[in-house]
Amino acid sequence: MSVRNIAGTQSCLFFRDRMQQCMEMQKGKAMDAKLKFNEPWIEQRADPYVYRHTDGWYYFTASVPAYDGICLRRAKSLDKLPDAPEVEIWHKHEQGEMSIHIWAPELHYLDGKWYIYYAGGDKDDVWEIRPYVLECQGQDPLKDPWKELGKMKRAPEDEFSFEAFSLDGTVFENKGEYFYVWAEKVGVGKQISNLYIAKMEHPHQLKTVQVLLTTPDYDWERYGFWVNEGPAVIKHGNKLFLTYSASETGEHYCMGMLTADMDADLLDPLSWKKERYPVLQTDASRNIYGPGHNSFTTDEEGNDLMVYHLRTESKIEGNPLYNPNRHACLMKVRWDSQGRPVFSYEE
**Residues carrying an active site annotation:** 47, 229
For residue 256, give the amino acid letter.
Answer: G
CB atoms within 10 A of CB 224: 13
Q: Give, in degrees to the nearest 5, the angle at Cα 89 between 88 and 91.
A: 75
All residues at 6 or more sequence positions from 217 whose CB lies less than 8 Å from its CB, including other chains: 274
Contact 136, 156 (CB under 8 A): no
Q: Which residues of 117-150 are buried (b: 16+ CB within 10 A; e: fewer)?
A: bbbbbbbeeeebbbbbbbbbeeeebbeeebeebe
- Give CA 176 to chain center in angstroms: 20
Residue type, 153: K
> Which candidate, 287, 154, 153, 285, places its Cα nearest to that of 210?
154
Q: What share of the chain is helix, strand, coil (3-state, %, to 5)?
A: 15, 50, 35
CB within 8 Å of 77: residues ≥ 6 apart: 31, 34, 58, 300
CA 311 to chain centre: 17
Taking the C-alpha atoms of residue 329 and residue 333, their distance in angstroms, rounded to an integer, is 13
Residue 164: C-alpha distances to residues 67, 186, 199, 235 (Å): 20, 7, 20, 30
Q: Is 189 helix (H, G, I), strand (E, B) or coil?
A: coil
Helix (H) or strand (E) holding 8: helix 3-34
